[in-house]
Structure 1
Amino acid sequence: MSVDEGPSAAQRRAPTLEAVAELAGVSRATVSRVVNDSERVSPEAREAVTAAITALGYVPNRAARSLVTRRTDTIALIAHERPDTVFADPFFASVLRGANQALSLTQLQLVLLQVQGDQQRDRALRYVGNGHVDGVLLLSLHGDDTLATSVSKAGVPLVMAGRLLTGEVVDSVDADNVGGAGLAVRHLVATGRRRLATIAGPLDMSVGVDRLRGYTEAVLEAGLPDAATRIAAGDFTEAGGRAAAARLLAEHPTLDALFAASDLMALGALRALRAAGRRVPEEVAVIGFDDAAPAAYTDPPLTTIRQPVERLGQEMVRLLLRRIGDGPGEPVAVVLPTELVVRSSA
């Protein structure tokens, strides 16, 4: 009686390039060109090779393919922030979700590098510079940090979220932060508020600078110069927003509106106002920025400026892939629109 011992060793082996070539009736070189997306293949040969790959379940050897194409099929998303900020702020999750969506129809993999401090920064730069990735998406750069410049000098394509405060121009995708802050101020003024104040984002980041600029320009245009002096610094966290709102209330007890440069800071402001016995929106109106998921569920629901964060991640990937394919060129700056979302807080 024979015993079924299962597939032989030969059957268990992964299909080879040669096997694909034999089944497709073409040369090994033709299969290699198809796998490496070469244009030097006839449509008929490409179709035969593709059918053979599907039939055999052939998976290209990524290491060998990398030697031919000089590509790793990997891009890095570098978040230059503290771990608690990266994993607690809905902004980062939304950008990551958008980037993954844009990559879903490609063969590229995404790796996340969280960077805080010089040691992690240098390690990330070595990883990128040593040829482990085809390109870099860079988030949350602070001050005059030269990470973007260093990546570019290493010859690695780069796309930033936001702009560099140093004035250097690189490929970037950003929301209309100045215009969005102006929308918030004009809504508050239109609803009768006159004693406005703002909780600004970090001023070592372009997003913080631009949202404060939008606020300041709008209150001056509305003829409210005192509002341009009612500013408390925040850090895009709930705790920072709560502390900043408490300072503003202590210094300006009659204020009747708050514009916070992020939804998390607006959430902190709502809690500070509640602790101070101030009713929202009857006594103080509050507007945030982002339209993060929690904004619709605050008490009261938060009026905010919506920026298309997932689309930002998608556009960053699309711009990076175009740069990887086309090579160096004039920097491109993409600015996405923002819009006012009115809820009960203002």
Structure 2
Amino acid sequence: MASIKEIALISGFSQSTVSRLLNHDPALSVSDATRNKILATAKKLHYPLPQTDTKKTYQVAVFFALNPQREIEDVYYYDLRRSIVQHAKDEYIDVTFIKDLKNKNLTKFDGAIAVGYFDDDQLMQLHQAFAHILFIDSNPEPEHFSSVQPNLEYATTKAVNLFIKRRLTNIGIVTGQYWDVNTPSHLIVRLDSRLNYFKNIMTDAGLYNDELLFKAHDFTVSSGREIGTEIANQLKTGLALDALFIASDSLAIGVLDALNEINPELAQALSIISINDSPSAAYTQPPLTTFHIDIDYLVRVSFNKLYDMITFHNQSQEITLVTPTLVYRDTFTKND
């Protein structure tokens, strides 16, 4: 357990002030900022506090700019929403999911969380409406917004380097596309950053082949099946393909389903690494090697950062990257 001395050292206040505050000295008079900083420091150091002393309850707006049907089909975003709701309950934070940025009651919120795509006008509205806002999973404007997101560049780099280390040279990628929920379905709003990372690494290695780029409609299992069928057909006509880096488990599950349906040997022959480590990844045929993104940790860090932004009126912007961990299974075993 942390000591009063440690809390004082980290928070920057005297041991006397910290001790009197944590022991509820009625004669102590400190500012809200001082009180909040000491309590926040004590909580981070796991100093035992009554629940009423840990955090002030804040009102937080959550903007989830994702197509509801695609959210259901993409387990990553489904789990992200679930984790936001659960963590808010655990931390006694009031969250309200809002669809309309023109909502007249935004002034009642202390801060906001945003997930998904927002156009330029919407980003301006968010920036103007909230002094404290945090993006989870991406950051559309780092100069205006802070974010907590998985380190996809690390995952992409590690996957490709592992393939190359195994002397696999015909390396492909299966990626998806992001769509704006507020505009016609033909409008693509953002390409997958993993594709840019992949192209850079493969080009530097002299291995990039545009024929091995497979671009799905989105990140769902059904889109993965379509790409899997396309890959199987091209393999029949002599396409050289040793390995696939797949942008999400949902896509990878669809690809494996299609390959197994057409010819199970195709699924066994390819080395595959994906991202997300969804519950289904362990039960594909063969079981899927994938990067585990700890969504609950991602959300917990996000709430802590937003709380600090609100409490200490922090106006500086920063990007916090959470490093995923590779879980080895049969599509790319650790000791091949």
Could you tell me the TM-score, scaled by structure 2's length?
0.71
Taking the aligned partners of 1:207 and 1:218, their CA distance within structure 2 comes to 20
Whole-angstrom distance in 2 between the partners of 1:325 and 1:180: 33
The residue number in structure 2 matching 1:323 is 309
The letter of the residue matching 1:127 is N
Report what 1:244 is aligned to: 227
Look up the SS of the partner of 2:275 in the other structure.
Answer: strand
2:131 corresponds to 1:135: no
Assess, with a 3 A threshold, how the Cα gap between structure 1 residues 345 and 248 changes in structure 2: closer, same or farther.
Answer: same
What is the aligned partner in structure 1 of residue 161 from structure 2?
186
Q: CA deviation at 1:74?
A: 2.3
> How far off its partner does 1:285 sit?
2.0
1:218 counterpart residue number: 201
Q: Give the Cα–Cα distance (whole angstroms) in 2 for the partners of residues 187 and 206 of structure 1.
A: 31
The alpha carbon displacement at 1:42 in A equals: 6.1
Residue by residue, what CA displacement relative to the aligned partner does 1:126-176 show, whole Å, maximum 9, x if unpaired?
Answer: 33753243221111115x444333112113521002444466441101111
Distance in 2 (CA, whole Å) between partners of 1:169 and 1:232 is 33
Mean Cα deviation higher: 152-161 or 128-137: 128-137
Is 1:231 equivalent to 2:213 in the alignment? Answer: yes
Report matched runs for 1:95-114 at 5 Å. 95-100=80-85, 102-113=87-98
Give the AA of the match of 1:161: I
2:147 and 2:203 map into 1 onto residues whose CA distance is 29
Is contact 1:102–1:318 with CA below 8 Å preserved after alignment? no
Aligned to 1:21: none
Asked if the contact 2:148–2:301 (Cα under 8 Å) also holds between the matched residues in 1, the reply is yes
Query: Contact 2:277–2:292 (CA<8 Å) still a contact in 1?
Result: yes
C-alpha distance in structure 1 between counterparts of 2:104 and 2:153, whole Å: 32
SS of match in other structure, 1:225: coil
CA distance in 2, matches of 1:45, 1:87: 54
Which of 73, 79, 98 in structure 2 is aligned with 1:94? 79
Counterpart code for 2:109: V
1:207–1:128 CA distance, 2 compared to 1 (3 A)? farther
> 2:103 is paired with a residue of what secondary structure?
helix
Q: Equivalent residue for 2:171? A: 196
Question: Does structure 1 retain, via aligned residues, the 8 Å contact 2:281–2:288?
Answer: yes
Shift of 1:188: 2.4
3-state SS of 2:145 partner: coil
Structure 2 counterparts to residues 255-266 of structure 1, below 5 A:
255-266=241-252
Confirm or deny: 8 A CA contact 2:146 2:319 kept in the other structure: yes
> What does 1:160-175 align with in structure 2 at a 5 Å threshold?
160-165=135-140, 168-175=143-150
Identity level (%): 22
TM-score (norm 1): 0.69
Q: Please, which runs of 5 or more residues in structure 1 have no aligned partner?
A: 1-38, 47-70, 116-123
Structure 2's unaligned 5+ residue stretches are 1-20, 29-55, 180-187
Q: Which amino acid aligns with 1:218?
A: I
Counting matched residue pairs gives 272
Q: Residue 269 of structure 2: SS of its match in structure 1?
A: coil
- Give the equivalent residue in structure 2 for 1:337: 323
Task: Give, in whole Å, the separation in 2 of the partners of 1:72 and 1:250.
Answer: 56
